[in-house]
Each structure stands twice: as structure tokens, then as C-alpha cells.
Amino acid sequence: MKEPQIIVCAKQIPDPEAPFSNVTVNVEKKQVAVDAPDVISPYDENALEAAIRIKEELGGKITILSMGRKVSDTVLRKTIAAGADALVLLEDPLFEGLDSGSTAHVLSCAIKKIGDWDLVLTGRQAGDWDSGQVGLIMGEMLDVPCVSLARSIKIDDGKLLVEKSVPVGYEMVEASLPALVTVSNEVGELRYVARSKMLGLLRRPMSIPKWNSKDLGCDIDRLKKLQLTELVPPADMGRQCTLIEGAAQDQACRLAEVLSELR
Amino acid sequence: MSDKAYDAIIIGGGHHGTTIAPYLAKAGLKVGVFERLDHLGGGAITEDLPSPGFRGNFCAHFTRYYGHPAYKEFNLREEGLEYTFPDTNEAIVFDDETSYVGYAAFTVDDPVTGQTRFNEENVKKTYEQIARFSKVDAETYLDLTEKYRSKWRPAFHKHRYSPPTPWGVPDALEELCLDPASGLDISMQYMTAKHVARYFFESDELRIITLRGFLTSWGVFPDDVPGLNIIIATIHLTLGWETAAIAKGGTGAITSALVSAGTKLGVDYHINSEVQRVLMENGRATGIKLMDGTEITARQLVVSDNASPQLFLRLIGEDRITTHMKRMARSYQFDRGELFWGTVGVHELPNYKAAKDNPDVNCTPRTYFAPKDLAFMEDKYMHEIFLAGMPSKMFILTAPDSIWDPSRVPAGKQSLHVEEFTCPARIFSRKEWKQLTEQFVDVLFETWAEYAPNMTRDNLIVQRITNPVDIQDTHLDMKEGGWCEGNCSGIQNGRFRGTPGGHRTPIKSLYQCSSGTYGGPGIGRGSSFNCYKAIADDLKLWKPE
Amino acid sequence: MSEILLLVEAKDGALDKKSLELMQGALGLGRQLGVATCAVVAGSDTARLAESAASFGLDKVYRLEHPLLAGFQPDAWVKGLEWLCGQVNPGIFLLSHSFVGKEVGPRLACRLNTALTTDCLGLSVDPGDGLLVRTKPIYGGNAIASLKCEGVPQMATVRKNAFEPVGEAQSASAIVEMVPDIGEDAIRVKSIKMVEQEVVELDKANVVISGGRGIEAKEDFDMLEALAAAMSKSHGNVMIGCSRPVVDKCWMSSDRQVGLTGTIIAPDTYIAVGISGAIQHLVGMIRSKKIVAINTDPGCNMFKVADYGVVGDYRDIIPALVKKLEEQR
């Protein structure tokens, strides 16, 4: 068969591991501000890792598709350093704050514009809103077989074989290509990119196509923003922490007492 | 109704909070220090690093607190702060197995008083070291050493321990520049670090160590504008003028001694006591409110050991300051001084290839190993760091303190501090910092073994390397994880550091003593001492000599 | 407005507790709006399940019965439910935020040309426009958003524990059998085999000891196992859990992951080792009765939510702790 053409949809979000003290909820403006660097949503990184493994076995091409009001190509270049081949950025003020269905619509338009593809991979959910909808809806819109929660993905003799995480273990499923798969973290984390490779890549000029809603021929009436009626901070989760001090031995002794009391 | 009252309240028990407290107490004030964390000292702390059995400095390392007026004023030696003084001072080994060791021109003969003397023998040794690679630079060394002894040194001391002069009134260093015989020129305050290194030295060796020295002591990169005090401080490092000094038991001994002295003078230290807000009445600071709601009255003054953004934006609040102050505080730059810093416990100390020419490279308190690649340091080093978190060529600083202070290590073991610069925390995610730190350790040992073949992973017992995220999470004024409370170059150095007003803030009875003000970062620098002087002037209190 | 519909799920052949919670939420909305509240059970042999679902005061229970609905084949379920919605035109359609709900919800919403909100903690109806107000945590729980969407049916998936389980009612609901039109061609993804694995049910543990990114090596989990063994003699059921990075490294299977995308638990004691406390993890364990944190970083979030904190290296503390616990016996 021909070498697989894989598209990975990757969202850029503020570092979800940032401590909660870095998150400010603006009740009036109904906005969340996160004082943290942007990263690729972790499950999307897993999706890229899955794609790279397929490419290592079968060759082919990996295109990263990322959408937003303003996408940082520095963050996305990391995907190239890891093993992706091309980037396409979807930028338009209209793309800001869209609901899941509209996001899936824009991404589907871009995938159709790319045209030649066998497999679309994306994270099971994004690390900011954790909705877990866009991938599955894209499957519907592209009208292709759709598998969620993949823990391993293989292409064998032109067929897609996926180990899908299910509550009792995993299910081995099969589908024809083209197809869409949402990826879970059991796939494994995105390989680490050595700084030398990263440096080489950052210096290399790269042409990154940017497509807006006109380029994509999106149905603008189809683009709906999320309608927030209220945004509030969560209830305080803090507890009074008793610190157990001293040398490791003393700490262990005191902790043993504490644990005995907790029986 | 307030719950308690002090004459003077100090917000933050960091290094400068613990330094100013005994001064205020000695002036007869009842002093209360309020610290957010469960320990005092801020950057001046020593912990079980890299693991129990070892002791290492989590933050600040190189100190010369014996030279701070407080050392004598409060008998800190008797309070347990002892220094030892190695003869070697600063060394660098290069990738071509050459080296340079600077020997202290001023040595301390009497550790009790910390009194120094000019050491001709050491000057000769340093001269010979430099002459091996540059006769011209060796002559420059002699010339500058003489200028340092006669002019720079007294001016620098006066500058460090005097409050800033107002704009238009030359301070001690600006006056020095007006003296044609000083070797300094007023234009130098606008030179970049790269420019300074090129101006004074012709050899790649001294230029490299100067550029790395600007980083070591102030976090100033080659294209930053250091300013006069940083220029003198850095050339003094390059040429190894003042003796190196090792605080027995680590930097934390400074804090213990200061707190012990303060306690005797009646200072109350409150740990785990985070301040929520500075209380004000009619534009005057009247006390503080703690996170738990407790209100504490300041009968005379409040001193903040915080950098300006935290003090003005968080503790005072944007609604209570002018637009100008707000802009200054908001635009304060936290983008320098971030490190991979930590301690490695090893079986044996490094034996550098370069030791064949001079065995002293194996026992110098501040030893760098670095490529002899000036062009890289000048033009690429910082850019690579900001792109990838680590440069492709490492300029590592090490400090083998266990040679002089065996209390840092278990019997038969050794430890070294290691340092390389990195970029602000914001540039990478938490996961990436963790990965970068792991990679740093790998690269550290790979590189180290090229300079000292015994520094392989097998020699490593245990390591703990911190990255900017570790520092940022524990120290609110070290935003972005830099140890220097913000960029120290250009406008954030000298009399304009912090916000207008310096130690005297625009709010009545509110003073600022942190390293985010005039004096800058580093242990024993003058901000707290000078802040006390300003307070003493205003309140007609006792004045130190 | 037309009826409220909810999808009932089975667990080990019986009604899933989550479905009882969902019924409570749906019945509340039904009373408020004055509309019928109905449930659907789907499968190839749904008689018993439909009967159990009928004892909770719902107006109707639809038995969506078809051979292709056996087990859980998402393509067939989506098709079957799409067909049912075409028949009954629900005004609101609710699902549990479960394995099934997460998969079926978005696809069904797309086919019905409506919008779904997932992982809701609360639901209400805006009396002004009659739209469902969906409250859900975002940014891992750092903010709680309420939002509205256009489209019919109004759809949401609801998080476990968002409502109390409904109690049994006196009269049984009517059961309506429906046979959907599902062709073999609807099924594009074929199941080859189901591999059942031993699955750890962390929510059954009295004590959970979890390791996170701070754990330096996979082998170090042996220390946690040793602690679990030492504690299990006196503390009941002690299990090992982890935070997400550990699963990402493939050191642990995902059934041991505690947090937003793992298991949400509330054991008597939770011991977090080398876990900094990203909010996504905290959501999963914050309701633990007592929390103990061991971490080298005193500034980390875990200490802010812990009852007891030990600042130090687990490699020193845990072996000493195990020794101490064993001595105590």
C-alpha cells in the first residue's frame, strides 16, 4: 500500500500542570487567565506519538493541524522536532471561543482541503475544557470509521487495527481507512526532543501555511461561540497542613504514628 | 481592633528582612518579622542537599558576609558564622586542557576580624597565570589591581553601604569615573557586558571568564548593560581580587547567626505567617493584615523585604498607588538569573586534565569548565538558552565546598555545587522543565567527563538539581525562577532599581529593604543596611558606623 | 416542551448507580418543566434491565431492542439512539459521563444537529428561554462555567455523584418496546476481540498510595508496594495509584490513574508521593478523608490540600517508614 498520510489535530492550551495559584477567574468578564506557558494539549501529544510510531514502521507523512485565534508556531515547531513533517495553522478571529461542533467543522474543512489523507488522530480530549467531543464529531462530519480512546494504533495491510481502552481492559477493533482515532495517554508520552535537534530546527526557516475561514470555505453561520452565562472560581479545597519536620528518620517515625492514628 | 502591635513590622523574613531586624531592634524598637514560609532566610538557607547526610545551599552560595557591617556590629562570628578563606579564588579549565587560576589579591589573615591585607605573592601568581596566554592582559591585571587597591575598592565599599544619591548627585562610583586616573569612564555605565570585556581584555580566556562572571554574580548576559557597580564587581571576580570565602555549614549559617543576634535583641520572628495586605490610613502604613485575618499594628514603620511587584501590586493594591507606580511595578522585568542549580554528592572530586599545568584547578572555590569559544559566548549562548533551555555548549560553574567544609558531606564523600544558566520558567511547561532538568544532568556528566575523566556517572552518589519552576514555586519574589528578584541590568540596577523612591516608598512609614531595591541581589549586598540608614535618618535613630 | 429522555446503563447486569443519579437529575427537571421523564435501555436482551429501570417513577422506559445493540458497539448504539430520537423527539436528552456516554453523546449530538455539554455537575433550566443551563468544571476544575446551547434536544452528560441516586417509586413505569432500524452497514468498526484485564478498582480501597512525576524510576514503585504491604496488615484494603505522568510513561495501567480522566476516589487515607498536585489530579482525590503528602518541594500544591505534609525525599522516608511500621507490629 502507499505510505500513510496522517493528520494530527493538536490544540494549544495553557500548561494544564500549572499550579492553581496561577489561574485567575475573572467573574465579570467571564474569562479564565492562566499565567503559564502554552503547550500542546497533552493527549494531542500522545496522538502525535502514535502517529510517529506508525510513520517509523510504514513511512508516510504527518501533518499537524492546529486552530485558534493566534497559534504559536514555536510551540508547534516542537512537533516537527519530534517527527512531524508539516504544520498547518488555522487562524481567524472567528475561530476564537467556538463550541465543539463548530471547532470540528473548521478542522473538518481543513482536513478536506488537505485532501490526501488516510488517518486523522487527535487527543481524546483537550486539557483545558476536557470536553472530549471534537474528535468524535469530526468522525461524523468526515463520515469515516471512528474509534475513540486508542491505547495502540497499527496499520496492517491497509487496515486500521486499534486497541481501544474499555473499562474491563481493552478491545481490539478493526476498520478500513480513511478513519479517525482519538488517542488516550496509555499510548505513551511524546518522545523527548534533544536540545541539539530542537536548536537545529528552530534555526531552520520554515514555511507554515495559515488558513482562515475564507481559505477553508467554512460555513460561517455554522460557527457558534460558547455561550457562557456564568464563570466562577471553585470552592476552596485547601486544608490546614501539619508539616512533619526533622531528619528523614524522625519524619518517618512521626509519620508512622500519624498513620497508626488514621487506622 | 488590632491583635498585636510592634514599633516596626518587617514583611518577609528573607535575607534582608533578617539583616535589618537586629539593626531596628538595636535602635530600641520592638520588631516583629512575618514570614510566609516555615523557615527564615529567603535565599540564605542550607538544607539536606542533595540528600540527608549532605548539606547544600538551595539558593545563594558564594557569600562574603564577614565584610558586611553587620558581621562586626552583631558579633556574628560568636553567633556561629565562621568563614574559612582558601587562597585560590576563581579558576577556569578550557576544552583544550589549558586553564587559568586567579589568586586572591586581598587575603584574610585573621578570620576573627575579617581584616584583609594586600598579598603581593598572590598577585605575582595571578600575573604569571595570565601571562601564559596574554602578556598584555597580565600587564592590564597589574594596572587594574593597583587602581582597584587605591581607588576602586574604597569607592565600591562606600557605594555598596551608602543609600543611593539623588539623580544629578554623583554617587561614589560616578565620582570615580570623573577621576581621569581611575581607568574608568562615565560612558561605561552604558556599555554592554560584551563591550566591557572587549574594552579591558584582549585574550579570549579573560573575556570568556568575564562574560560568565557577569552572569555568575548578576545574571547579566553579554548584550545587557550592567552599570558601573556590576562592572567593578565582575572584573573583581575575573581577576580574583578579594579572597574567596566559605561559610562553615553553608549559607544558612548567616541566617542562623542573624536570627540568633536578633532574638537576643528582642526581635519576634513569626514563620508560617503570610501577610495579605499592608494596612494604611491617610496615605501612611499603619500595620499589616495576615492571611488568617489577624491585624498587627505598626506603631512607627513597616519594612517590606519584597520586590516591588509583590509589594505594590499584591500587598498594597493597584487602587492605592499612582498610575506611574502601577506601570513601573507591572513592567518590572523578571527575565534573568534563572539557573539549573544544585548539589551533586560524589565519591571523589574532579581531577581535571588541565591540572597537569596547575594542580590548583582541582581545589578552587569557583571553578568553571567551558569551551574556549568566545564567539559562541558572545553571540549565541543566550539565544540558544532562550530557545532550547540549554546551550549547545555548556559554561558550567562548580563549587567543591566540601574541600574546606567537611561538615557538608558524610565521611569519605564529597559534594559540589553546579550551575548553568537557563531561561525564565514561562518559556517551558512543567513537564518540559522536568525533562530539561533530567537532560541537564545527563549533559552535565557527559561534558564534565571530557574535562575531568573521573567525573562519570559512576562517581555520582546522588544529585538534586533545581530548575526555575522549583524556585518560582517557593519564592514569590523570584518570579520566573530567577534568583535575583528581577533583571539587574540597565534601569533595574543602581538608584532606579525597584520603583521610584527606593528604600523610602511613596507611602509614608513604608520602607523597602529587599534585593529588589538599590543594592541588588546577592547575600550581604547593601539594600537592607542602606534601608536602615534611611530609616535612621527619618526617625532620628542610632546610626551604624 | 417535549419529554426528557435519559440513557440508562447497566453494570454487571444490573442498573448502574450512575443511571440512578441521572434519573434523579432528570426527574427534577421534568417536575420543574412539567414534562414527562423517560428512560431508554438499549441492547439485545433488555427485558430485565427495563424492568428494573421501571421502578423509579419515570413516565416511560423505552426498550431499544436489536441484535446489533448487543454488548456496546458505538456505531450501532449511535444509530439506534438517533432512530429513537427521531421517533420520540425529546426536548432534553441526558447521559451519564461514562464510557458509553462520552462516546455516544458527541456523535449523537452531531447527527441530531444539536450541541452537547459534557461532564456536567449541575443542570437547570433558564425560565426565560427554556434552555438548559449546564454547569461544568473547566481548566481541570480551576473554574466552574455555566453555559447554554441552542439546538434540540438539549444534551448533556452528567458526572458521577452530581445527583443523589433516586429512590424506588411505588408504581412501575410503562415499558415501551422499540425496534430500531439498524443495518449492518451502519457498523464500520468491527470488534475483533475483547481482552479482559485484571482491573484495579481504586474506589474500593481504604488507603490509596499514589506516586507521581516525582518518582524517579519505575522500580521505585516497589517502595510504595512495600508500604502498602506494611499498611495492609492494619489499614484494610491498601492499593497503589498514580497520577497521569506515570501512566504516560507506561509504568502503570490507566486503571490506577487518579484524577479527572482517571478514577475519582474518596478513600479514608490518601498518600501522595512525589505528586505536585496539578488540579486535574486533585479533583480525583480531594474528597479523601485524610491526605498525606510526601514531596521534596515545600511549595507544591499538594501541601495546600494535605492534612499532613512531609517535605523530603521519598527514597529516604518511605523505607524508614516501612521499617517503623513493621517494628510497631
- Model pLDDT for residues A230-258, shown as the tens digit of each residue: 999 888 777 888 889 888 889 999 999 99
Q: How far apart are CA B524 and CA B533, in angstroms?
A: 15
- Which chain A residues are closer than 8 Å to B36 by Cβ? none
Listed in order, strand segments (DSSP E) in C44-114 are 60-65, 92-96
pLDDT at A22: 84
Taking the Cβ of residue A194 and every Cβ of chain B, the question of whether any pair is shorter than 8 Å is answered with yes
CATH of B4-51+250-332+489-539, one of 2.50.20.10, 3.50.50.60, 3.10.250.10, 3.30.2130.10: 3.50.50.60
CB within 8 Å: C296 and B431: no
CB within 8 Å: A247 and B52: yes
Listed in order, strand segments (DSSP E) in chain C are 4-7, 10-11, 14-15, 37-43, 60-65, 92-96, 116-120, 122-125, 132-138, 143-148, 154-158, 174-178, 190-196, 207-211, 238-242, 269-273, 290-295, 308-311
- Which chain B residues are closer than 8 Å to A39 by Cβ? 429, 431-432
pLDDT tens-digit profile of C186-206? Answer: 999 999 999 998 888 898 899
User: C touches which chains (3+ CB pairs under 8 A)?
Assistant: A, B
Instruction: Determine what percent of chain C is predicted with pLDDT higher than 90.
Output: 76
DSSP classification of residue B395: -
- Which chain C residues are closer than 8 Å to A243 by Cβ? 298, 303, 308-311
pLDDT tens-digit profile of B214-233? Answer: 999 999 999 999 999 999 99
pLDDT band for position C158 (cuts 50, 70, 90): very high
Check whether B311 has a pLDDT greater than 80: yes
Q: Which three cell numbers stand for residue B89?
A: 579564588
Identify the structural domains of chain A with CATH numbers, from first to last: 5-222 (3.40.50.620)
Dihedral over Cα of B109, B114, B119, B123: its sign: positive
ipTM of the complex: 0.91
- Which chain B residues are closer than 8 Å to A17 by Cβ? 429-431
State whether residue C289 is helix, strand or coil. Answer: coil
pLDDT at C161: 83
Whether C317 and C177 have beta carbons less than 8 Å apart is answered as no
- Which chain B residues are closer than 8 Å to A243 by Cβ? 38
Report the candidate in A140, A251, B457, A252 with the shortest Cα–Cα distance to residue C103: A140
Check whether A21 has a pLDDT greater than 90: no
pLDDT at B502: 83
Check whether B1 has a pLDDT greater than 60: no
User: B touches which chains (3+ CB pairs under 8 A)?
Assistant: A, C
Q: How far is the alpha carbon of A62 from chain C, nearest alpha carbon, in Å?
A: 21
pLDDT at C1: 62
Chain C residues 300-329 within an 8 A CB cutoff of chain B: 300, 312-313, 315-316
Q: How far apart are CA A232 and CA B465, in angstroms?
A: 38
pLDDT band for position B161 (cuts 50, 70, 90): very high
CB within 8 Å: B52 and A17: no
Give the chain A residue nearest B476 (alpha carbons).
A21
- Which chain C residues are closer than 8 Å to B51 by Cβ? 313, 315-316
Q: How far apart are CA C196 and CA C192, in angstroms?
A: 13
CB within 8 Å: C316 and B52: yes
Q: How far apart are CA B11 and CA B274, in angstroms?
A: 9
A-C contacts at Cβ under 8 angstroms = 258
CB within 8 Å: A227 and C148: yes
> At residue B55, what are phi and psi to the nearest 5 degrees?
-125, 135
CB within 8 Å: A37 and B429: yes
- Which chain B residues are closer than 8 Å to C245 by Cβ? 431
Q: Do domains C4-186 and C202-328 have the same CATH topology?
A: yes
CB within 8 Å: C254 and A230: no
- Which chain B residues are closer than 8 Å to C299 by Cβ? 470, 473-474
Give the chain A residue nearest C255 (alpha carbons).
A167
Domain locations along chain B:
4-51+250-332+489-539, 117-242, 337-483
CATH of C4-186, one of 1.10.3210.10, 3.30.830.10, 3.40.50.620, 3.30.420.10: 3.40.50.620
Q: What average pLDDT is seen over chain B?
A: 94
Among B38, B429, B435, whose Cβ lies nearest the Cβ of A17? B429
Q: Which residues of B45-83 are buried (b: 16+ CB within 10 A; e: fewer)?
A: bbbbbbbbbbbbbbbbbbbbbbbbbbbeebebbebebbb
Averaged over B306-331, what is the pLDDT? 93
Instruction: Determine what percent of chain B is predicted with pLDDT higher than 70.
Output: 100
- Which chain C residues are closer than 8 Å to A248 by Cβ? 312-313, 316-317, 320
pLDDT band for position B14 (cuts 50, 70, 90): very high
Chain C residues 194-253 within an 8 A CB cutoff of chain B: 213, 245
Yes or no: domain C202-328 corresponds to CATH 3.40.50.1220? yes
Report the candidate in B239, B255, B243, B234 with the shortest Cα–Cα distance to residue B14: B255
pLDDT band for position B463 (cuts 50, 70, 90): very high
For helices B15-26 and B527-539, angle between their N-to-C axes, nearest 10 degrees: 30
pLDDT at B318: 92
pLDDT band for position B114 (cuts 50, 70, 90): confident
pLDDT tens-digit profile of A97-137? Answer: 999 999 999 999 999 999 999 999 999 999 888 899 999 99
Taking the Cβ of residue A241 and every Cβ of chain B, the question of whether any pair is shorter than 8 Å is answered with no
CB within 8 Å: C115 and A175: no
CB within 8 Å: C119 and A240: no
Whether B105 and B88 have beta carbons less than 8 Å apart is answered as no
Report the candidate in B243, B427, B245 with the shortest Cα–Cα distance to residue B336: B427
Q: How far apart are CA C78 and CA C63, in angstroms?
A: 15
Chain B contacts to C (CB-CB under 8 A): 37-38, 48, 51-52, 430-431, 434, 464, 470, 473-474
A32-41, B124-133, C285-294: range with highest mean pLDDT:
B124-133
**B-interface mutation test, from A20, A80, A191, A195, most B Cβ less than 10 A away:** A195
CB within 8 Å: B473 and C296: no
User: A touches which chains (3+ CB pairs under 8 A)?
Assistant: B, C
State whether residue C210 is helix, strand or coil. Answer: strand
- Which chain C residues are closer than 8 Å to B431 by Cβ? 213, 245
Q: How far is the alpha carbon of B73 from chain A, nearest alpha carbon, in Å?
A: 32
Report the candidate in B343, B416, B433 with the shortest Cα–Cα distance to residue B47: B343
Whether A169 and C195 have beta carbons less than 8 Å apart is answered as yes
For helices C221-235 and C314-328, angle between their N-to-C axes, nearest 10 degrees: 30
Instruction: Determine what percent of chain C is predicted with pLDDT higher than 70.
Output: 99
CB within 8 Å: A37 and B52: no
pLDDT band for position B176 (cuts 50, 70, 90): very high
Check whether C37 has a pLDDT greater than 90: yes
pLDDT tens-digit profile of B332-347? Answer: 999 999 999 999 999 9
CB within 8 Å: B51 and C313: yes
CB within 8 Å: A192 and B435: yes
Domain locations along chain C:
4-186, 202-328
- Which chain C residues are closer than 8 Å to A101 by Cβ? 109-110, 115
Which pTM does this prediction carry? Answer: 0.84
Averaged over A33-62, what is the pLDDT? 95
Averaged over C292-311, what is the pLDDT? 89
pLDDT tens-digit profile of B179-195? Answer: 999 999 999 999 999 99
Q: Give the β-pairing of C143-148 and C60-65.
A: unpaired
DSSP classification of residue C263: B
Check whether B534 has a pLDDT greater than 90: yes
State whether residue C38 is helix, strand or coil. Answer: strand
pLDDT at B113: 75
Check whether A263 has a pLDDT greater than 80: no
pLDDT at C329: 67
Q: How far apart are CA B417 and CA B50, in angstroms?
A: 10
Among C213, C297, C316, whose Cβ lies nearest the Cβ of B473? C297
pLDDT tens-digit profile of B440-460? Answer: 999 999 999 999 999 999 999
pLDDT at A1: 64
Q: Give the β-pairing of B83-84 and B284-290.
A: unpaired
- State the DSSP string of B110-178: ETTTTEEEE-HHHHHHHHHHHHTT-HHHHHHHHHHHHHIIIIIHHHHHHHHTSPPPPTTS--HHHHHHH
- Which chain C residues are closer than 8 Å to B38 by Cβ? 298
Residue type, B299: R
pLDDT tens-digit profile of C205-238? Answer: 999 999 999 999 999 999 999 999 999 988 889 9
Q: Which three cell numbers stand for residue B542?
A: 542610632
Q: What average pLDDT is seen over chain C?
A: 93
pLDDT at C206: 93
C119: region left, alpha or beta (phi > 0 left; psi from -120 to 50 alpha): left
Averaged over C78-88, what is the pLDDT? 97
pLDDT tens-digit profile of B285-309? Answer: 999 999 889 999 999 999 999 999 9
